[in-house]
């Protein structure tokens, strides 16, 4: 009996155990029409499912992908990725990894921007007092936005940026529909409509 217990003890003492997941890196980026989530787990034998979770508010998370039985490697770190193809558009998207053993990653916040075919997005529309315009401007060109009333008369201030965002305030003429013109250092001007309530 002592020999059996000693053999049983040695068997369990030397079986490879499952350590907790060591998350070494957790990153995300907009990639085309989705958000790619990348992570690296530290070396070791973990063999745990990893649940990729998403939230629109940073509080209430739901599973969007289950990476089954991520075992890692006893000798070296391993990297993985997943692309979320339906993120919230023109909003912040929040992600975390739940290793289902009590290990939950930090929360990533990634803003997903869609610029449309003309290279910008405008919201809210209609606007009350001001509207935001996000502009595809990867080369930090000087961008000028001008407002005109429907008769073509220049109205309100001129807005400029070398970044990717403009806050457009309602002109002194008050509520109504206005035409805007976006001029860049390169390329043709782009026009559109904006409504202030």
Choosing from 85, 112, 139, the residue where a domain stops is 112
What tens digit of pLDDT does each residue of 109-129 get? 999 988 888 899 999 999 999
Are residues 95 and 17 part of one domain?
yes
- Please tell me the distance from the alpha carbon of residue 155 to that of residue 158, in angstroms, as a whole number: 9
- Please tell me the distance from the alpha carbon of residue 183 to that of residue 120, in angstroms, as a whole number: 12
pLDDT band per the 50, 70, 90 thresholds, residue 156: confident
State the residue range of the domain holding 192.
120-196
Choosing from 67, 84, 112, the residue where a domain stops is 112
∠ Cα 42 46 48 (to 5°): 115
What tens digit of pLDDT does each residue of 52-94 get? 999 999 999 999 999 887 665 678 888 999 999 999 998 899 9
Q: Which two tokens stand for residue 75?
A: 């000798």
Domain contains 7: no
- Count the domains in the chain: 2
Domain contains 98: yes
CATH code for the domain of 172: 2.60.40
Residue from 62, 67, 53, 57 nearest 21 by CA: 67
- Please tell me the distance from the alpha carbon of residue 121 to that of residue 113, in angstroms, as a whole number: 8
């Amino acid at each position: 009996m002592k020999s059996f217990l000693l053999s049983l003890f040695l068997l369990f003492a030397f079986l490879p155990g499952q350590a907790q997941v060591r998350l070494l890196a957790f990153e995300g980026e907009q990639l085309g029409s989705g958000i790619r989530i990348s992570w690296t787990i530290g070396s070791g034998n973990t063999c745990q499912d990893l649940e990729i979770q998403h939230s629109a508010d940073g509080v209430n998370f739901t599973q969007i992908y289950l990476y089954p039985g991520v075992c890692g490697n006893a000798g070296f770190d391993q990297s993985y990725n997943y692309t979320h193809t339906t993120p919230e558009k023109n909003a912040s998207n929040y992600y975390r990894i739940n290793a289902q053993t009590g290990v939950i990653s930090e929360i990533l916040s990634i803003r997903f921007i869609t610029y449309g075919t003309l290279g910008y997005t405008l919201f809210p529309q209609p606007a009350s007092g001001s509207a935001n315009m996000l502009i595809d401007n990867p080369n930090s060109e000087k961008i000028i936005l001008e407002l005109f009333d429907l008769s073509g008369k220049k109205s309100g201030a001129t807005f400029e940026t070398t970044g990717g965002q403009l806050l457009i305030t309602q002109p002194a003429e008050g509520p109504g529909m206005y035409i805007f013109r976006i001029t860049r250092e390169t390329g043709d001007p782009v026009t559109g409509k904006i409504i202030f309530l």
